[in-house]
Amino acid sequence: MKGGLVRLRALLDDLTPSERKIGAYILEHPQETVQSSVAQLSERSGGSPAAIIRLCKSLGVTGFQELKLKIAGDLQTNEQYQYTEIRPKDSVESIIQHVSTNNIQSIKDTVHILEPRLVDQAVNMLDKANRIFFYGVGASNLIALDAHYKFMRINRTSFSFADPHMQISSATTLREDDVVVCISYSGETSNVISCLEHAREGGAGTISITKWGSNTLSSLADVPLMITSMESDIRSGATSSRIAQLNVIDILYLAIASRDYNQSVQYLEKSRQAIQEHK
């Protein structure tokens, strides 16, 4: 059981002031927190016991005991949070190291919060779908296009549109045997939210891929899948978060492919040969 510190770091800025005070203390003193009771943490952090309980609820855990277990799991792995900023006039060697480390850390952190139960639900929905539509805007549209390409190669009927108007138009035509995958790191992209709402009206199954925490898109989806990545101003082009989103798409794609492995391999080989013939 892991992911307590990951969840806390991802959500810290969105917490109430009283919860944030406790969260900041936990991040600075994780070992002490694991050995503390609610009363002891309240005294050490300066927050009330009620605020600690609210913090646990905000983090999506059943209580302080589960939070401590997740933090203890984080500490046992000896993993460090190594997100680093790009600085003015960094050397190429430094940028190679920083960017690569941030991407790796983003995937590691996402593994700790991605719930297998929800991934399994998403895979079941995708496996039964007549048509799959992937929606995203900006950098998230690149994720949607990549997903469309992958699923198409194993003969799953899928669609992705770069034009936002085409996205919404297609969403209004969806039926109960269709599934949409809506991708938005913030979970607040209005066009993607509209697509999901129209898809729901038609009875289609809905899956979201967003950052961890409370957001509109995940609250509307049948199956909310979440990633985490410490994006900052210099990385506002969605670098490490994009890698984490691609990783989730790969998980879904390979899970679907593995369900009918032999057939999937045949389709992949057939498309590979066709492409080779046109080189």
pLDDT tens per residue across span 100-132: 888 888 888 898 889 999 999 999 999 999 999
Residue 58 pLDDT grade (very low, low, confident, very high; cuts 50, 70, 90): confident
User: Does 14 have pLDDT greater than 60?
Assistant: yes
3-state helix, strand, coil in the chain (%, to 5): 65, 10, 30
> 6-10, 76-80, 153-157: lowest mean pLDDT where?
76-80
Q: Return all residues near 128 (Cβ < 8 A) that are at least 6 apart.
A: 177
How many angstroms separate the CA atoms of 77 and 100, rounded? 20
pLDDT above 70: percentage of residues in the chain: 92
pLDDT of residue 94: 85
User: Does 272 have pLDDT greater than 90?
Assistant: no
Determine the average pLDDT of the residues in 154-183. 96
Candidates 129, 160, 144; CA nearest to 256 is: 129
User: Does 175 have pLDDT greater than 80?
Assistant: yes
pLDDT of residue 215: 93
Indicate the average pLDDT of the chain.
Answer: 89
For each of the domains in the chain, give its residue range(s) and CATH number, in order of start: 4-76 (1.10.10.10), 112-277 (3.40.50.10490)
The model carries a pTM of: 0.79
Determine the average pLDDT of the residues in 41-51. 91
Residue 226 pLDDT grade (very low, low, confident, very high; cuts 50, 70, 90): very high
User: Does 241 have pLDDT greater than 70?
Assistant: yes
More confident residue, 267 or 176: 176
Candidates 67, 211, 238; CA nearest to 137 is: 238
User: Does 186 have pLDDT greater than 70?
Assistant: yes
